[in-house]
Copies of this chain bind each other. A is one copy, B any other.
Amino acid sequence: MTERASASPYLTIKNDLLSQIRSGQLRPGDAVPHEETIAQQYGVARATVHRAMRELAEEGFVERKRRAGTRVAAVGGRTTKVDIALVRDEIERTGAPYRFEILKRDILSGDPFGQRILRVDANQPVLYLEILHFAGERPYQLEERWINLDVVPSAETQSFQASNPNEWLIETIPYAEAEHKFSAQNANAHQGAALDVPEGEALFVIERRTALDAKMITYVRMLHPGQTYAMAATDFSLSTKN
């Protein structure tokens, strides 16, 4: 058994089906009995079966269509969940003390990259920050951040003493929408020097664009030495073959 049995009928049903799918008793394309049928088998209400099935569908194990019924989904890839924690938490979880240093802080007025990425007009000022995050004495992450001062003007005068810019932004605009991209790039001379790795070293890069109501708030690049950094993903669901 891959998950522990549970008291809740809906979880029992869900886990039973999951076992049958994983064991190969139910193969992709096979029909799963109707909700009504399963309800009678287990002696529960249809709503209870429905919840089990809905969750299995959300997790990608089955596909459901009205009138057509429920079938085991065709596997065509995988979907995983990735947690991107606050650097501070990530570092302190390892036991190392956290601190950060602001390496650069500029108001850019004619920066085409920042203006394009934040979707602001020319001559709109943009705050650029370069921050180095330390795990103990080791540089852990180099952060390159652009902030849209049009949306968050108070960032201009912030000292970022207790909270680093990311933490401060989260306090200010907690529930902005974000878009992430992960990639690998070679460290240039400046990045290598900051992170204390040779130029050319492979860096693991997380990019994040944060917006609220179609207004860009900030764009950030988080660079990690590839030798020491790895991002873990927890198995979440399966994606269908389309």
Contact = CB atoms under 8 A, between A and B. Distances in A.
Task: Name the residue among A175, A204, A224 with the largest chain B CB count within 10 angstroms.
Answer: A175
A239 interface: yes
Given A2-B177, A174-B75, A178-B235, A230 B83 contact: no
A75 B169 CA distance: 11
A128 to B, nearest CB: 22
A235 B178 CA distance: 6
Contacts of A179: 232-235
Contact of A79 (B84, B173, B200, B229): B84
Given A175-B61, A181-B230, A86 B81 contact: no
Q: How many copies does the complex hold?
A: 2
A85 B77 contact: yes
Nearest to A85: B77
Contacts of A181: 230-233
Nearest to A18: B175
23 contacts: A2-B213, A21-B175, A22-B212, A24-B174, A75-B175, A78-B84, A79-B83, A79-B84, A80-B82, A82-B233, A178-B235, A179-B233, A179-B235, A180-B235, A181-B230, A181-B232, A182-B182, A182-B231, A183-B204, A183-B226, A184-B203, A184-B224, A202-B202
